[in-house]
């Protein structure tokens, strides 16, 4: 079929070669083609169309492999996907951290709120307990209603009722918290309410209106009184209320030496005496009052220091005035138990405080009285120190004895008494060479103690020294002990000692000088058999003459003998000396 140049140019497949059928080759064997070869003619238009068709057919032709541009695009897409995943993961991690921080803050906030609520519940329980403790002492008060003729009293009653109702409304939101099962104070409040139910139902209306006056922490202690008046009661009512009180009173103890709370009736009496006398302290007491000179109710209390309350009518009246004012201001001393506000306790405490004030007044006015008072106080302090040393020694020996199985027999019970301990008396010695003064302790034993008893104490002391040698000590260390003479005076052994604890030589001396005491010693001595003394070799042999100078107990040999001069040692040596 003849073709034109234009049709060939428009045909996109013109330049492509076509496969010839197989029959053409077979026929070509029989029919020989002409030798003239056809050379097609290509014009400019044909060449332009061929190039355009070739450019259009290039994307549609199958590729044998990926080109570099396609591979770079794929890598970029994967990188974008990984970048998106990383950013998503980072955002999730940031959100998780923010959520954890928020949860911790909320938990801390809830814990703080719970602690504050429990603290408020504790304060409420303490206030309720204090108010219920005061309830039995006011049950005998008849209900007081506002009189029709006195508008001021009616106004006071109305104000007290309004204030109490407002306080109760403020406490109403706290009641569900008190009943919450997680609160440890709800059971105690419930039990207190159950035990005091009948008593509270019998209370007067005026008492009900004043039960919650001191609940507000912003109010000072003891500043509010019901209706602006102080309620007093007779001594018989006070005693009966103390006896019928169903609330157990536990004696409080001071937390430390900075705690200056008033915990006893003696302390309350002393403070109240200074209060009614308008004094800040007892270092400068006022002059003695003239007997027969009246004092007004607004004037401070004054006493006749030369006489007692039983001798002076004025002092007796002042005593009644002080005790009456103390009962009226009972809430000021809220830590003092109610049972100590009885008549007998108040009288005894007032007499004791008045005697102390009289002695201080005499010492402030008279130099000789002050000197004797100071000497008496020094003697009391010295006796207290010596008694404390003996108690410490007894406690240490008792602990060592409890740890030692061989000394568990009852025959050693009588030896561990306070009267069997040797005393340690402080003395001041001066070194003649240097002129320094040193305080030492002089050990003075009982003359009736036997050598076997001294060996027993020595074994206990050695064991205690080994146990406490490595313990650190405060201060300057242990003071040096020096052997001194036996105690002066005629001293008898305490009741419960055994015969082996008493020196035979001392018994011979007593029979010769005080024969009447021998019968009394028979009632004192308590012997118990069954102990094998061979278990303790140091105590197995008993000397017939234990009072001789050559038989000196090991307990006394441990101490330094008396010398004219005292050599000071370091605190470490004192601590290691036992």
Please list, residue by residue across 4-35, b when 16 or more beta carbons sit within 10 angstroms of its beta carbon and e when fewer do. Answer: eeeebbeeeeeeeeeeeeeeeeeeeeeeeeee
Cβ neighbours for 215, distance < 8 A, ≥ 6 positions apart: 124, 127, 131, 167, 171
List the structure tokens of 76: 């970029």
Query: For residue 121, is it within any domain?
Result: yes
Same domain for 337 and 191:
no
Dihedral angle over CA of 132, 136, 139, 140, nearest 10: -160
Q: What is the pLDDT of residues 421-445, one digit of tens each?
A: 998 888 777 777 877 777 888 888 8
- Distance between CA atoms of residues 481 and 559, nearest Å: 6
DSSP letter for each residue of 380-413: HHHHHHHHHHHHHHHHHHHHHHHH-GGG-SGGGG
Same domain, 500 and 554: yes
Q: Flag whether 31 is in a domain.
A: no
Sign of the CA dihedral with 449 first, then 452, 455, and 459 last: negative
Query: 209: closest CA among 269, 171, 163?
Result: 163
Regarding whether 385 and 343 lie in a shared domain, the answer is no
Residue 497 near residue 526, CB atoms below 8 Å: yes
Where does a domain end: 365, 389, 405?
365
Ramachandran class of 202: left when φ > 0, alpha when ψ lies in -120 to 50, beta otherwise: alpha
The Cα-based distances of 411 to 385, 496, 501, 556, 568 in angstroms read 30, 10, 10, 23, 41
Q: Is residue 151 part of a domain?
A: no
Question: Are residues 396 and 333 part of one domain?
Answer: no
Angle in degrees, CA 370, 372, 377, rounded to 5:
95
pLDDT computed for residue 163 by the predictor: 44
Give the residue from 498, 490, 478, 495 showing the smallest Cα distance to 393.
478
Nearest 5°: the CA angle 223, 229, 235 is 100
Q: Are residues 519 and 561 in the same domain?
A: yes
> Is 10 inside any structural domain?
no
Q: What angle do CA 379, 385, 386 make, to 5 degrees?
A: 90
Helix (H) or strand (E) holding 426: strand 423-430
What are residue 529's phi and psi, to 5 degrees?
-100, 170
What residues of the chain score a pLDDT lower than 70? 1-4, 8, 12-45, 48-68, 136-251, 473-477, 540-578
Nearest CA to 174 out of 209, 214, 223, 123 is that of 123
Both 338 and 432 in one domain: the answer is no
Residue 392's pLDDT is 92
Range of the domain at 184: 88-139+160-216
* Beta strands at 437-444 and 481-483: parallel, antiparallel or unpaired: parallel
Any residues with CB less than 8 A from the CB of 39 and at least 6 apart, and which? Answer: none
Backbone angles phi, psi at 22, to 5 degrees: -70, -25
Are 401 and 544 in the same domain? yes
| Residue 301 forms part of a structural domain | yes
- Domain stop point among 331, 365, 399: 365
Domain end marker among 339, 365, 391: 365
Do residues 294 and 341 both lie within one domain? yes
Distance CA 416, CA 410 (A): 11
- The answer to whether residues 322 and 353 touch, using CB atoms and an 8 Å cutoff, is no
Q: Assess whether 430 and 544 both reside in one domain.
A: yes
State residue 482 phi and psi, 5-degree precision. -125, 140
**Taking a C-beta distance cutoff of 8 angstroms, is the pair 521, 422 a contact?**
no
Q: What string of DSSP letters covers 41-109?
A: ---HHHHHHHHHHHHHHTTTSPPSS--HHHHHHHHHHHHHHHHHHHHHHHHHHHHHHHHHHHHHHHHHH
In a domain, 83, yes or no: no
Residues shown for the chain: 578
Q: Do the domain assignments include residue 27?
A: no
Cα–Cα dist 321/529, whole Å:
65
Q: In the numeric block, which tokens belong to residue 155?
A: 């106004």
Tell whether 468 and 568 lie within a shared domain: yes
Q: Are residues 427 and 540 located together in one domain of the fold?
A: yes
Tokens of 132: 């219920």
With residue 423 as reference, give the H or E element that holds it: strand 423-430
The count of structural domains within the chain is: 3
Q: Collapsing DSSP states into helix, strand and coil, what is residue 334?
A: coil
- The answer to the question of residue 327 being in a domain is yes
List Cα–Cα distances, 122 to 223, 333, 485, in angstroms. 22, 21, 60
Cα separation, 41 vs 180, in Å, equals 110
Given its phi and psi angles, is residue 222 left (phi above 0), alpha (psi -120 to 50 degrees) or beta?
left
CA dihedral 222, 227, 229, 231 (to 10 degrees): -80
Give me the half-sphere count of Cα atoms (radius 13 Å) on the Cβ side of residue 452.
22
Give the angle subtended at the CA of 232 by the CAs of 226 and 234, to the nearest 5°.
150
Residue 439: per-residue pLDDT: 80
Other Cβ atoms closer than 10 A to 235: 15
* Same domain membership, residue 297 and residue 386: no
169: phi then psi, degrees, rounded to nearest 5: -65, -35
Q: Which residue pairs from 197-205 have beta carbons closer than 8 angstroms and sit at least 24 positions apart in sequence? A: 199/135, 199/136, 199/139, 199/246, 200/132, 200/135, 202/139, 203/135, 203/138, 203/139, 204/141, 204/142, 204/143, 204/144, 205/143, 205/145
User: Within 13 A of 382's CA, how many CA atoms are on the CB side?
Assistant: 12
Determine contact, residues 475/388, Cβ cutoff 8 Å. no
């Amino acid at each position: 079929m003849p073709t034109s140049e234009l049709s060939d140019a428009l045909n996109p497949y013109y330049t492509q070669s076509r496969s010839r059928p197989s029959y053409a080759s077979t026929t070509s064997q029989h029919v020989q083609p002409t030798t003239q070869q056809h050379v097609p003619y290509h014009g400019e238009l044909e060449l332009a169309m061929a190039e355009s068709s070739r450019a259009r057919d290039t994307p549609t032709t199958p590729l044998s492999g990926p080109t570099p541009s396609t591979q770079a695009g794929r890598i970029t897409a994967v990188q974008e996907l990984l970048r998106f995943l990383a950013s998503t993961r980072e955002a999730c991690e940031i959100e998780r951290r923010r959520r954890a921080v928020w949860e911790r803050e909320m938990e801390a906030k809830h814990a703080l709120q719970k602690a504050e609520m429990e603290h408020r519940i504790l304060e409420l329980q303490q206030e309720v307990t204090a108010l219920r403790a005061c309830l039995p002492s006011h049950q005998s008060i008849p209900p007081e209603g506002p009189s029709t003729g006195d508008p001021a009293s009616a106004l006071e009653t109305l104000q007290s009722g309004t204030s109490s109702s407002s306080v109760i409304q403020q406490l109403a939101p706290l009641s569900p918290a008190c009943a919450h099962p997680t609160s440890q104070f709800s059971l105690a409040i419930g039990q207190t309410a159950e035990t005091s139910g009948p008593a509270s139902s019998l209370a007067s209306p005026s008492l009900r209106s004043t039960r919650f006056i001191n609940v507000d922490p912003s109010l000072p202690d003891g500043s509010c009184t019901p209706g602006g008046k102080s309620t007093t009661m007779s001594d018989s009512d006070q005693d009966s209320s103390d006896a019928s009180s169903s609330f157990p009173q536990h004696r409080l103890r001071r937390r430390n030496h900075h705690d200056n709370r008033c915990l006893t009736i003696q302390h309350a009496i002393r403070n109240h005496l200074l209060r009614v006398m308008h004094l800040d302290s007892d270092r400068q007491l006022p002059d003695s009052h003239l007997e027969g000179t009246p004092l007004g109710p607004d004037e401070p209390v004054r006493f006749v220091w030369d006489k007692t309350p039983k001798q002076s009518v004025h002092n007796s009246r002042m005593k009644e005035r002080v005790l009456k004012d103390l009962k009226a201001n009972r809430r000021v001393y809220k830590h003092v138990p109610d049972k100590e506000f009885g008549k007998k306790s108040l009288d005894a405490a007032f007499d004791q405080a008045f005697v102390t004030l009289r002695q201080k007044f005499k010492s402030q006015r008279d130099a000789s009285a002050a000197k004797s008072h100071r000497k008496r106080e020094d003697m009391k302090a010295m006796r207290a120190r010596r008694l404390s040393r003996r108690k410490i020694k007894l406690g240490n020996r008792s602990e060592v004895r409890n740890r030692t199985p061989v000394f568990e027999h009852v025959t050693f019970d009588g030896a561990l008494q306070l009267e069997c301990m040797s005393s340690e008396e402080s003395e001041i010695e001066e070194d003649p060479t240097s002129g320094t003064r040193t305080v030492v302790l002089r050990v003075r034993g009982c003359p009736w103690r036997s050598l076997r008893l001294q060996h027993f104490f020595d074994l206990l002391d050695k064991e205690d020294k080994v146990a406490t040698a490595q313990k650190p000590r405060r201060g300057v260390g242990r003071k040096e002990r020096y052997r001194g003479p036996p105690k002066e005076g005629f001293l008898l052994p305490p009741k419960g000692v055994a015969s082996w604890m008493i020196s035979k030589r001392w018994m011979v001396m007593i029979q010769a000088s005080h024969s009447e005491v021998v019968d009394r010693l028979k009632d004192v001595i308590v012997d118990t058999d069954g102990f094998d003394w061979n278990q303790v070799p140091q105590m197995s042999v008993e000397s017939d003459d234990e009072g001789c100078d050559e038989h000196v107990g090991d307990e006394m040999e441990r101490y330094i003998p008396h010398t004219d001069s005292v050599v000071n040692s370091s605190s470490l040596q004192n601590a290691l000396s036992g």
